Amino acid sequence: MNPLEQVFKYGQSIWLDAISRDLINSGELQRLVNEDKLRGVTSNPTIFEQAINRGHSYDDALRQLLRADSQQSDKDLFEALAFEDIRMAADVLRPLYDETEGGDGYVSLEVSPHLASDMEATIEDAQRLWDAVQRPNLMIKIPATPAGIPAITHSIGAGININVTLMFSLQNYADVSQAYIRGLNSRAESSPVGGTTWPVSVASFFVSRVDSAVDPMLEKIGTPEALDLRGKIAIANAKLAYQRFREVFYGEPFAGLRGKGAHLQRPLWGSTGTKNPAYSDVLYVEELIGRDTINTLPRKTLDAFRDHGRVRETLQEGVEEAEADIAQLRELGIDLDAVTRQLQEDGVAAFAASYDKLLTALHAKRQDIAA
């Protein structure tokens, strides 16, 4: 059996960490849904930058937009292109959304990365994007920054589906799960008795970037104990986050809301493409399979896992070893909290740089068309 289908038997959904007009118009997205049981799509500024700026797939659409209004800003042009991609992908996935009663079938669109430190602007942008796209199976991505946490609570309370992104630490996870529950409680209080419609949220916990940051530190220390931890910390960190998820959403903190029909906030494993060629190209897929989770895969990783992935329920394995690995890292003098804080800051900066690069390239394209 196709490994991408097998993981669903263990309660995990596979989403694709990519979107482009070619993927949708060629029928490839529909094929992935039909043949590989793909159950969702995520995007971010880097993904859109790569899709729009590499090649000419968007040139005709850009010409039409400029003919309609040549005075549109570069941001307006980008959003018009992105909204159309998101709507088309959402429509492909809508039958899955309906079949699962909102369990899967989502497409994600990110608020501007330049707003990561501005709570009010993030709230406004999330609502604006939600209103503009007009698809019930849309998720708005908000980063788990200090300003993003209260924006998440507010947006959930407003009934917007939220994909919380750029999470790296257990503290991030604790803050995000509490923000979601606060938002649901607010939603329940503001809705008519018996008339609450529950928004859906996922918590995107980034994986491989942790090893990319920690491994060089371990190699610098160079002791056998340090070198033995290479390639283990990212998975250990994710496994402990999954344990926190189980404590919150299978336990007392969520019991009342679950009884009223609210959705679990499933962990979504992000950044699961292997960056170190010394490691298996499906390492961060095989080791993070478990119930009520999502893994969003870059296309290259999805193809590799289909080809040679091995499937078993791994998230509940080696939890004590994961705790020991994190403790050993601390004993070696590596502050994982500091590492993950920096990774979040770097992630926001990288997305902002991609967003700016995208707008710069769109500006050059519009000048070429005008010429």
Kindly list the catalytic residues.
141
Torsion of CA 98, 103, 104, 108, to 10 degrees: 110
In whole angstroms, what is the distance from residue 159 CA to residue 259 CA? 18
End-to-end Cα separation, the chain, in angstroms: 53
Q: Which helix (H) or strand (E) element contains residue 272?
A: none
For residue 268, give the nearest of 255, 284, 281, 280 by alpha carbon. 284
Torsion of CA 301, 304, 308, 312, to 10 degrees: 20
Handedness of CA 254, 259, 265, 266 (dihedral sign): positive
Burial category of 207 from C-beta neighbours within 10 Å (exposed 0-12, middle 13-18, buried 19 and up): buried
CA angle, 33 then 38 then 42, to 5°: 115
Q: Three-state SS string across 170-225, please?
A: HHHHHHHHHHHHHHHHHHHHHCCCCCCCCCCEEEEEECHHHHHHHHHHHHHHCCHH
DSSP secondary structure, 51-87, as one string: HHHSSSTTHHHHHHHHHH-TT--HHHHHHHHHHHHHH
For residue 87, give the nearest of 134, 52, 127, 46 by alpha carbon. 134
Answer for the pair 194, 175: CB distance below 8 angstroms, yes or no: no
Q: Three-state SS string across 81-124, please?
A: HHHHHHHHHHHHHHHHHHHCCCCCCEEEEECCHHHCCCHHHHHH
